[in-house]
């Protein structure tokens, strides 16, 4: 044990000349054979934080966080130009975001509804907006309603499209005049709710209204609530006439929880979801201290889904219960017993096929740990095959029907997608850099020896998981030599493009028409600009057309929907606009006409 007067320790005082002393200190440390002071990795991510006018946001803080485990997320303040640089990063996949009081991230027009991910060496521009404000007075029979919680539930996006499930903003309390103010709202349409239990945990202020049913703007139950539309920079007034409505209770118990050895056991969280708009009304918890019982109070009449989940920190696993539907109609509901069980997982590995002749891949050695793999749940098309029963849709929570899990591979290329509710999943790997294209996604034999139902062609048919099923042996293969395309869809003379245009590439070679990995698509931006990457070399037909949606307001994806795929193939075959890609070829400034002029052969 060293004494404190040791010269090495004195180095940690006296910051002004610190860097000079530091080099001296390291030289003085006794270097044993075991001393490991590993070199810092040299990767950096740089960027800028700006507002919607493009001006730098001084005072913002940028966050760069790695996906996968191990290294911590890093933060740094931006400089006078709104710029930041975070160094010392290992190869991997990163999320980049920023925060600034009074600002929110600008909505991303992302075709796959997922945030952007970055690699070491990328430069990121983060745009922030102030958002909208909804404010108003909550008054009841006896005057203003003070210190009651109000929250805004986003039910439509900024284009008016209904969200697959509603998102609740943070709660704000009314002041002594009954006035509430919710700021920093992403543009869209909202329901405003006052009163009722706090969303999470205990009360922020003791309120006489804690056990009431919530009241929706302007003064109603959920059925007749009005939506409030707010745009960026707008302030909208929404006064609420409050009534004290008692509501009813839903109670029960949770079973199947994992006990812990070292601590008192982890509890479970139970969510109460309104079936109609798929918003979470309340959460509560159950633990050993109350014999795993739970109760919701002040629940208005309606149809709900309850589901319980437990998070186990040691291995970041979730256990979830099969969701239960409960109808509250004028009476308390008791005896709802939920049992949590482990979720499913898919393990696999990445294979990278290099092609030295092509030679357009950067950072070959770190390709594995820079690859992010997604598993996306979807409802497969019902195939009416003779003699087989139609697949029974497994029961998952309303908010899990489009569940996504992700995993970053390790240096050896292994990845595990965890915590998957039962259902059918598409495996969507993201190439680590522009030079790779996805050649195949195949499932091998199950380790248990039982034959897997379902095809090995995971790219076309997806993987279907039973509750808690553990699948392994998935192989994702990337090949070097991808091409890319940048260009613009042009409208006919004097006309503008319809909204939500997309570009599609379909294989021109007959024998490739069954290979879904030869079909590509991307959304055009507001000006018709398109960018497609990681394209497998070959001959294609290209077509620009408006997106199509299925009934759940999700865009039809050409790799997932065989009927849509056949139609687009047929349309582009008639159009006969062909394009070829050689390995590593980059095409820029490509003009893609849309409309009647497009049928004229070039």
Give contact residues for another protein (rule: CB under 8 A).
Answer: 1-2, 9, 11-16, 18, 22, 25, 32, 34-36, 38, 59, 61, 69-72, 74-77, 99, 101-102, 130, 133, 147, 172-173, 175-176, 181, 183-184, 204-206, 261-265, 288-291
Q: How far apart are CA 435 and CA 484, in angstroms?
A: 9
- Least distance between another protein and beta carbon 66 (Å): 10
- Least distance between another protein and beta carbon 409 (Å): 17
CB count in 10 Å sphere of residue 71: 14
Return the number of the residue (5 or 38) whose C-beta is nearest another protein. 38
Q: How far is CA 178 from CA 147, 181, 290, in A?
A: 7, 10, 36
- Least distance between another protein and beta carbon 350 (Å): 21
- HSE, side-chain direction, 13 A CA sphere, residue 64: 31
Return the number of the residue (23 or 602) whose C-beta is nearest another protein. 23
Return the number of the residue (267 or 323) whose C-beta is nearest another protein. 267
Q: How far apart are CA 147 and CA 451, in angstroms?
A: 60
Q: 150 with 180: CB under 8 angstroms?
A: yes
Degrees to nearest 5, angle at CA 56 with 54 and 59: 145
Return the number of the residue (2 or 601) whose C-beta is nearest another protein. 2
* CB-neighbour burial class of residue 299 (10 A; exposed 0-12, middle 13-18, buried 19+): buried
Q: 147 with 195: CB under 8 angstroms?
A: no
Spatial strand order in the sheet of 483-490: 529-535, 483-490, 586-593
Break the chain down into helix, strand, coil percent, rounded to 5.
10, 45, 45
- Least distance between another protein and beta carbon 82 (Å): 14
- Least distance between another protein and beta carbon 176 (Å): 4
- Least distance between another protein and beta carbon 434 (Å): 29
Return the number of the residue (368 or 399) whose C-beta is nearest another protein. 368
Residue 46: name the closest of 76, 80, 72 by CA. 76
DSSP state of 262: S
- HSE, side-chain direction, 13 A CA sphere, residue 385: 7
Return the number of the residue (16 or 588) whose C-beta is nearest another protein. 16
Residue 373: name the closest of 316, 418, 306 by CA. 418
- Least distance between another protein and beta carbon 262 (Å): 6
- Least distance between another protein and beta carbon 35 (Å): 5
Return the number of the residue (76 or 337) whose C-beta is nearest another protein. 76
Return the number of the residue (181 or 383) whose C-beta is nearest another protein. 181
> Would you state the structure tokens that stand for residue 81, as one six-digit string?
């130009």
């Amino acid at each position: 044990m060293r004494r404190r007067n040791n010269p090495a320790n004195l180095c940690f005082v006296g910051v002004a000349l610190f860097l000079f002393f530091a080099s001296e200190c390291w030289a003085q440390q006794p270097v044993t054979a075991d001393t490991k002071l590993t070199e810092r990795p040299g990767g950096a991510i740089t960027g800028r934080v700006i507002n919607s006018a493009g001006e730098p946001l001084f005072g913002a803080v940028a966050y760069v966080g790695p996906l996968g485990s191990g290294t911590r997320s890093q933060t740094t303040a931006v400089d006078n130009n709104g710029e930041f640089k975070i160094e010392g990063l290992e190869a991997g996949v990163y999320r980049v975001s920023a925060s600034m009081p009074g600002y929110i991230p600008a909505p991303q027009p992302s075709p796959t509804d997922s945030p952007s991910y970055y690699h070491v060496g990328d430069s990121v521009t983060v745009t922030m907006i102030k958002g909208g404000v909804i404010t108003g007075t909550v008054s009841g029979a006896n005057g203003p309603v003070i210190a009651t919680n109000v929250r805004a539930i986003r039910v439509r996006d900024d284009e008016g499209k209904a969200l697959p499930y509603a998102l609740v903003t943070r709660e704000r309390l009314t002041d002594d005049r009954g006035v509430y103010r919710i700021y920093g709202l992403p543009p869209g349409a909202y329901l405003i709710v006052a009163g009722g239990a706090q969303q999470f945990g205990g009360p922020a202020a003791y309120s006489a209204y804690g056990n009431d049913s919530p009241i929706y703007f302007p003064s109603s139950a959920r059925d007749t609530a009005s939506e409030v539309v707010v745009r960026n920079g707008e302030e909208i007034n929404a006064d609420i006439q409050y009534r004290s409505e008692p509501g009813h209770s839903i109670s029960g118990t949770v079973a199947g929880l994992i006990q812990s050895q070292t601590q008192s056991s982890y509890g479970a969280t139970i969510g109460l979801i309104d079936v109609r708009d798929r918003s979470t009304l309340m959460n509560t918890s159950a633990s050993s201290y109350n014999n795993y019982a739970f109760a919701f109070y002040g629940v208005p009449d309606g149809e709900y889904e309850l589901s319980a989940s437990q998070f186990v920190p040691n291995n970041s696993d979730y256990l979830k219960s099969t969701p239960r539907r409960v109808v509250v109609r004028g009476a308390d509901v008791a005896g709802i017993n939920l049992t949590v069980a482990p979720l499913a997982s898919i393990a696999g590995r990445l294979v990278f096929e290099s092609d030295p002749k092509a030679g357009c891949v950067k950072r070959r050695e770190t390709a594995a740990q820079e690859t992010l793999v997604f598993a996306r749940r979807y409802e497969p098309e019902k195939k009416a095959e003779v003699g087989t029963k139609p697949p029974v849709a497994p029961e998952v929570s309303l908010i899990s029907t489009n569940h996504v899990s992700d995993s970053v591979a390790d240096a050896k290329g292994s990845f595990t997608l965890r915590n998957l509710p039962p259902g059918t999943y598409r495996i969507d790997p993201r190439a680590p850099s522009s030079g790779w294209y996805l050649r195949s996604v195949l499932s091998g034999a199950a380790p248990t020896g039982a034959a897997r139902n379902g095809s090995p062609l995971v790219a076309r048919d997806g993987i279907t998981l039973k509750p808690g099923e553990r699948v392994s042996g998935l192989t994702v293969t990337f090949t070097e030599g991808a091409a890319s395309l940048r260009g613009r869809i042009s409208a006919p003379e004097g006309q503008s493009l319809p909204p939500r245009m997309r570009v599609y590439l379909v294989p021109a070679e007959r024998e490739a028409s069954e290979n879904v990995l030869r079909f590509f698509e991307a959304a055009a931006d507001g000006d018709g600009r398109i960018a497609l990457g990681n394209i497998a070399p070959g001959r294609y037909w290209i077509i620009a057309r408006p997106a199509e949606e299925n009934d759940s307001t999700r865009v039809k994806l050409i790799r997932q929907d065989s009927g849509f795929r056949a139609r687009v193939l047929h349309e582009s075959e008639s159009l006969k606009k062909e394009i070829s890609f050689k390995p590593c070829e980059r095409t820029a400034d490509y003009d893609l006409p849309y409309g009647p002029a497009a049928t004229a052969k070039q």
